[in-house]
């Protein structure tokens, strides 16, 4: 980490009305400029926000205007829904969480991509399916695909199903030591909903092993919890896996899994929920102050694989009974700067106008949290950003900590009451963007706009060499229109904070 990375998101103590991370921005900006100079990077233009204004930009390989980007940035389209893959399977629908790993050849990267397919059991529409493979649920419709990409040309060298037999694979995270991908089911459906097995689990997709026509066996890691999973992030010092829960309409928890063996998650371990020390059921959803440091402890989930079909308490209910903290719709999760960063899609005091949830909570425009693991205690929780309104940030979902110490947030505008048009996307009512948090200024800025349709961005991740930002456009989760797409974005990253 550079000094810029280490100073990026803490050390600012007060909230401002404009939604910047906290106070002392001028001093912090000067310090950051000095750090960039020390690192051999150009200092930021003090008058430029992010990378400058956006403009509608055609894809290099198709000519379609699908994104708006800053000047100097370009993109190609990869893995569009319906494209035949190397294993003969058509690229599935619903492109969601994703990570990038070193490829098998020089100047390549390997992407492992989730598909959040939400069709009925066994439906053939956009299904992730390889006949004869070792599938957890024979009727499963979702899973993952793997793409080997040439970083210079953007060409897909090969792509194939790497896991199937699961459902609603939303997000996930890298395994310890980057050995592969942990893919998560965002559901607790099971036999009562027509599936042959219980769902709501995490599955391993090894980096090495799956090949075209030979996906990885899909076996659930039941000790890591059965709940509506979103994303995970591993602390490389301890091997602890931090997990977010995307519950809609009721409180959600932030979890960690302490494995017996970080290299063998199937060997079991202990699942815990975050609790703010000295406060029972502390409500993180509203009334928070950016920069405040909250001491953390952890409560054990006694039954991580509850029999929900027969009325067992959910993991969330177990954690809240022991005083666990309440969040709203926890989504993206990523390790960076010796911390775990994660989103609350609908947290915050500025409200989006939607109807209250089951417990009366009224949704906000979103929060970004930082959990700093403790070496001698349970750690510290810090709210690093809370959106003051839809123009700044509307419903953050997946996130990634960038090579230069910033954060990129994928919007998923799920609000129904507050229309969200954009001048670069005429005709669209709910427009989704990539919003970045600038560690130099402590402010959010637009980096990209989806001008093609109203589906969310997802799966943002940088290639291992930092030259390419990969990101998905979800498309439809139950039909072929609009299609899912993966973008590979190149440009003058050194000109700004990402």
Check residue 404 and give its pLDDT.
87
* pLDDT tens digit sequence for 22-77: 332 222 332 333 333 333 334 445 567 799 999 999 999 999 999 999 999 999 99
Task: Decide if 327 contacts 265 (C-beta within 8 A).
Answer: no
Which strands make up the sheet holding 269-276, listed edge to edge? 229-234, 241-245, 254-259, 269-276, 293-300, 380-386, 367-372, 339-344, 330-336
* pLDDT tens digit sequence for 255-312: 999 999 999 999 999 999 999 999 999 999 999 999 999 999 999 999 999 999 999 9
Distance CA 367, CA 12 (A): 16
Name every residue whose Cβ is closer than 8 Å to that of residue 385 and which is 6 or more positions away in sequence: 19, 21, 290, 367, 368, 393, 437, 444
Q: List residues bridging with 417 in a β-sheet.
A: none
Higher pLDDT, 380 or 5: 380
Q: If you average pLDDT over residues 170-177, what whole number do you get?
A: 97
Distance CA 102, CA 109 (A): 5
**Does the model's pTM come out above 0.95?**
no
Q: If you average pLDDT over residues 222-235, what whole number do you get?
A: 98
* pLDDT tens digit sequence for 65-118: 999 999 999 999 999 999 999 999 999 999 999 999 999 999 999 999 999 999
């Amino acid at each position: 980490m550079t000094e810029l990375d280490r100073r990026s998101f803490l050390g600012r103590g007060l909230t401002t009305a404009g939604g910047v991370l906290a106070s002392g921005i001028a001093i912090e900006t000067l310090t950051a400029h000095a750090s960039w100079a020390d690192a051999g990077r150009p200092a930021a233009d003090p008058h430029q926000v992010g990378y400058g204004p956006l403009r509608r930009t055609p894809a290099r390989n198709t000519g379609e205007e699908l994104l708006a980007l800053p000047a100097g940035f370009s993109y190609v389209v990869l893995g569009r829904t319906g494209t035949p893959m190397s294993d003969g399977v058509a690229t599935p629908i619903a492109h969601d969480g994703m990570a990038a790993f070193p490829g098998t050849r020089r100047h390549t990267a390997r992407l492992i991509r989730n598909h959040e397919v939400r069709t009925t059991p066994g439906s053939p529409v956009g299904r992730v399916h390889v006949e004869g493979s070792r599938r957890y649920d024979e009727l499963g419709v979702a899973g993952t695909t793997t793409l080997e990409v040439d970083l210079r040309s953007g060409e897909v060298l090969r792509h194939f199903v790497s896991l199937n037999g699961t459902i609603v694979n939303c997000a996930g995270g890298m395994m310890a030591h980057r050995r592969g991908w942990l893919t998560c089911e965002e559901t607790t459906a099971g036999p009562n909903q027509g599936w042959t097995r219980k769902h709501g689990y995490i599955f391993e997709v090894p980096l090495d092993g799956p090949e075209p026509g030979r996906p990885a066996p899909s076996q659930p890691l039941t000790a890591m919890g059965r709940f509506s999973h979103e994303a995970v992030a591993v602390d490389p010092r301890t091997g602890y896996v931090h997990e977010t829960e995307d519950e809609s309409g009721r409180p959600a928890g932030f979890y960690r899994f302490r494995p017996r063996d970080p290299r063998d998650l199937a060997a079991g371990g202990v699942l815990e929920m975050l609790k703010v020390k000295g406060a029972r059921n502390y409500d993180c959803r509203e009334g928070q102050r950016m920069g405040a440091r909250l001491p953390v402890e952890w409560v054990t989930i006694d039954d991580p694989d509850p029999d929900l079909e027969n009325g067992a308490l959910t993991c969330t209910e177990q954690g809240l009974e022991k005083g666990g903290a309440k969040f709203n719709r926890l989504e993206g999760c990523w390790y960076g700067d010796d911390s775990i960063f994660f989103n609350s899609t609908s947290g915050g005091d500025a409200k989006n106008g939607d109807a209250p949830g089951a417990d009366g909570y009224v949704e906000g425009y979103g929060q970004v949290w930082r959990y700093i693991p403790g070496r001698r205690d349970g750690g510290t929780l810090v709210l690093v950003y809370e959106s003051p309104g839809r123009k700044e940030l509307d419903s953050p979902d997946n996130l990634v900590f960038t090579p230069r110490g910033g954060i990129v947030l994928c919007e998923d505008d799920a609000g129904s009451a507050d229309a969200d048009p954009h001048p670069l996307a005429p005709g669209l009512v709910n427009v989704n963007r990539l919003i970045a948090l600038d560690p130099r200024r402590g402010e959010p800025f637009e980096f990209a706009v989806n001008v093609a349709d109203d589906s969310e961005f997802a799966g943002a991740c940088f290639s291992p060499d930092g030259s390419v930002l990969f990101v998905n456009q979800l498309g439809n989760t139950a039909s072929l229109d609009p299609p899912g797409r993966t973008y590979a974005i190149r440009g003058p990253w050194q000109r700004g904070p990402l």
